[in-house]
Structure 1
Amino acid sequence: MQNETSLGSAGHLSDAPTNGRPGGSPNGSDQGEPRAPRPRRANARFMLSHPLHILSLGFGSGLSPIAPGTFGTLFAWASFAAFSAQLTVIEWAVLIVGGFVAGIGICGFTANKLGIDDPSSIVWDEIVAFWLVLLMVTPATFTGQLWAFIIFRFFDMVKPPPIRYFDRRLKGGFGIMFDDLVAAFFTLLVIALWRMSV
């Protein structure tokens, strides 16, 4: 997942000026070269245009103009709390594994429609990864879950090595999903080391 910059506010994503000739080159000539699809704005209208966009944009949590990844992780936390009493550990594990596998296609589909490799508005990767963190740290107090949230957001936003390596090298839906899975792994590693030390 990219850093917290919102997709919709990136003014530099617009196409180069065409001197009044739609589809033409910046100098006014059209040499017939194929052009990359123009990046689209992730908004409510776009999200509702396809069911898969609703999932990949975290049911709207990824549309936040500020820190969409953080809001997506908050949605993951809230949904985990809402369904933790209804789902068993095995059912959560199946949901997380299925969510990761399906997320490769879901996030890749939405990213392709937006015309951006890894839009910050796509937060399904944060949701699945933080579900995994919460499942592995259960049982935990609210304070324990809050620390898990903070540590996960640190790794997902700062992307220290090797997370940065995977974020830059892996593309498509798999790349979107995998770097957050690595962030979840390091979050759990830090929590495990802390628990061993106390």
Structure 2
Amino acid sequence: MPEHPDQAPAQPVPPSVWRNPWHFIAFGFGAGTLPKAPGTWGSLVALPFIPLWQLLPDWGYWLMLGLTMLFGVWLCGKVADDLRVHDHEGIVWDEMVGMWITLWLVPEGWGWLLVGFLVFRILDILKPWPIRWIDRHVHGGVGIMLDDILAGVFAWLVMQLLVWGWSVQAVI
């Protein structure tokens, strides 16, 4: 069953994932080749990077997000063009960046990573407005990236509310 309810059945894994470094990166270092829920696997692959990004100053993490988003627009567009598929479900770089957005300015710790992962996956799968509209109407690298960037921003807002609530409760 596809990860997104309105998505077509699983697409075959192109052999180029194992030969072309751009395809390998776009497919989440191979995570996007897994037969079930590639977006979820891609989101999981993003998690080990978070403790590294959290070592950066806040502006450094923000800069990293900007660079990975811009790189993702090019990368996802290129790989989609190479594969002649609008948004191959195995391309998971967009989910990785969405996870990194979700967890910006969130406290360190595996508990926060788990909550962020769940919040992001729920929003990425359900695609509330305007995410679903963008997913259906914006194409190319921008379209592939933008719905997950927005899901990441929405998930980031939820996470910031949870962090704020947690810190208020700790004071009381």
The two structures share one fold, judged by TM-score above 0.5: yes
- Measure the CA separation in 2 of the matches of 1:95 and 1:177: 15
- Measure the CA separation in 1 of the matches of 2:18 and 2:44: 21
Contact 2:102 2:159 in 1 (8 A): no
Matches within 5 A, 1:112-127: 112-127=81-96
Does residue 42 of structure 2 align to residue 72 of structure 1?
yes
1:111 corresponds to which of 77, 80, 85:
80
Structure 1 pair 130–110 and aligned structure 2 pair: CA distance change class (3 A)? same
Structure 1 pair 122–51 and aligned structure 2 pair: CA distance change class (3 A)? same
Q: CA deviation at 1:79?
A: 2.3
Q: CA deviation at 1:78?
A: 1.6
Q: CA deviation at 1:63?
A: 0.8
Contact 1:48 1:54 in 2 (8 A): yes
Structure 2 partner of 1:42 = 13
Does residue 131 of structure 2 align to residue 163 of structure 1?
yes
Q: CA deviation at 1:48?
A: 2.6
- Measure the CA separation in 1 of the matches of 2:159 and 2:85: 34
Once the two structures are superposed, residues 104-150 of structure 1 have per-residue CA deviations (whole angstroms, 9 ceiling, x without a partner) of 1110111112221111100001111211222231x243222211110
Q: CA deviation at 1:7?
A: 8.3
Contact 2:31 2:38 in 1 (8 A): yes
Task: Give the gaps of 5 or more residues in structure 2.
Answer: none
Q: Alpha carbon RMSD of aligned pairs, Å?
A: 2.4
Question: How many residue pairs were aligned?
Answer: 164
Q: CA deviation at 1:182?
A: 0.5
Structure 2 partner of 1:146 = 114
- Measure the CA separation in 1 of the matches of 2:150 and 2:10: 28
SS class of match (1:3): coil
2:105 corresponds to which of 136, 139, 155:
136
SS class of match (2:105): helix
Task: Give the gaps of 5 or more residues in structure 1.
Answer: 11-40
- Measure the CA separation in 1 of the matches of 2:118 and 2:130: 19
Structure 1 partner of 2:4 = 3
Structure 2 partner of 1:183 = 151
TM-score (norm 1): 0.73
- Measure the CA separation in 2 of the matches of 1:168 and 1:71: 22
Structure 1 pair 110–86 and aligned structure 2 pair: CA distance change class (3 A)? same
Structure 2 partner of 1:57 = 27
- Measure the CA separation in 1 of the matches of 2:104 and 2:161: 17
SS class of match (2:13): coil
- The amino acid that maps onto 1:90 is W
Once the two structures are superposed, residues 77-119 of structure 1 have per-residue CA deviations (whole angstroms, 9 ceiling, x without a partner) of 02223x2475443333222211111111110111112221111
- Measure the CA separation in 2 of the matches of 1:99 and 1:114: 21
SS class of match (1:117): coil
- Measure the CA separation in 2 of the matches of 1:135 and 1:166: 23
